[in-house]
């Protein structure tokens, strides 16, 4: 398993090794020792899966009070996944990084607590699976608008046109008005 640094400190791209022959293939998707050696969490408390049609854009989501780290993988289809550093005091505060994830590539993105997360579906549909380090906490659920001008995320929308966004996500806060994790929340590094 290869663990790759990204432009955002603490966000990692994880590339499992795939072994195959004429019968099919095998890969190890998670190994607690490998994750521990890379400074990544070894315990996840919830698995979530979503299916979205082409052009659906979800996010930018995060939780206050009970933050969630997310290990994101596409089971089928193709998405562009985004992480935004929302940790006041972080050298990367307000910066974002995007990753093309395809089901056949088996890659994961690790997004620690204190980051906003979103994605847009570029294929006809996409099944997205993500493991979380914290439980869903409705009272702490927050959203920043995907098209916030301060963040200026370069969503790859040329192939799909105007994205399909939920009413709730369309009503998210602007970055400059968003309630963010407190600077002393202790979430400036991987657990």
Catalytic site residue from 61, 62, 78, 117: 61
Alpha carbon of residue 149 to chain centroid = 20
Is there a catalytic annotation at residue 130? yes
Catalytic site residue from 19, 130, 136, 137: 130
DSSP three-state, residue 169? helix
Is there a catalytic annotation at residue 117? no
Q: In 3D, which of 107, 104, 180 has the Cα closest to residue 142? A: 180
Q: Cβ(69)–Cβ(143) under 8 Å?
A: no
Q: Cβ(120)–Cβ(153) under 8 Å?
A: no
Q: Cβ(190)–Cβ(133) under 8 Å?
A: no
Q: In sequence order, what are the residues at sequence separation of 6 or more whose Cβ sits closer than 8 angstroms to the Cβ of residue 145?
A: 60, 169, 170, 172, 173, 174, 175
Q: In 3D, which of 78, 79, 75, 162 has the Cα closest to residue 117? A: 79
Q: Give dist(CA 3, CA 10) in Å, integer.
A: 11
- Helix ranges restricted to H, 31-165: 32-37
Q: Give catalytic residues, as residue numbers.
A: 61, 130
């Amino acid at each position: 398993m290869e663990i790759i640094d990204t432009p955002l400190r603490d966000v990692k791209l994880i590339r499992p090794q795939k072994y195959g022959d004429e019968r099919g293939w095998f890969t190890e998707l998670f190994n607690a020792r490998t994750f521990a050696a890379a400074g990544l969490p070894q315990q996840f408390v919830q698995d979530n899966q979503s299916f979205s049609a082409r052009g659906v854009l979800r996010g930018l989501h995060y939780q206050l009070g009970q933050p969630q780290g997310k290990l994101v993988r596409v089971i089928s289809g193709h998405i562009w996944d985004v992480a935004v550093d929302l940790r006041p005091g972080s050298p990367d505060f307000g910066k974002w990084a995007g990753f093309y994830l395809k089901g056949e590539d088996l890659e994961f993105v690790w997004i620690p607590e204190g980051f906003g997360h979103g994605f847009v579906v570029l294929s006809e549909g996409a099944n997205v699976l993500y493991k979380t380090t914290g439980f869903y906490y409705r009272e702490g659920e927050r959203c920043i608008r995907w098209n916030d001008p301060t963040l200026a995320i370069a969503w790859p929308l040329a192939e799909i046109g105007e994205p399909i966004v939920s009413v709730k996500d369309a009503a998210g806060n602007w970055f400059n008005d968003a309630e963010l994790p407190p600077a002393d929340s202790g979430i400036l590094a991987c657990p």
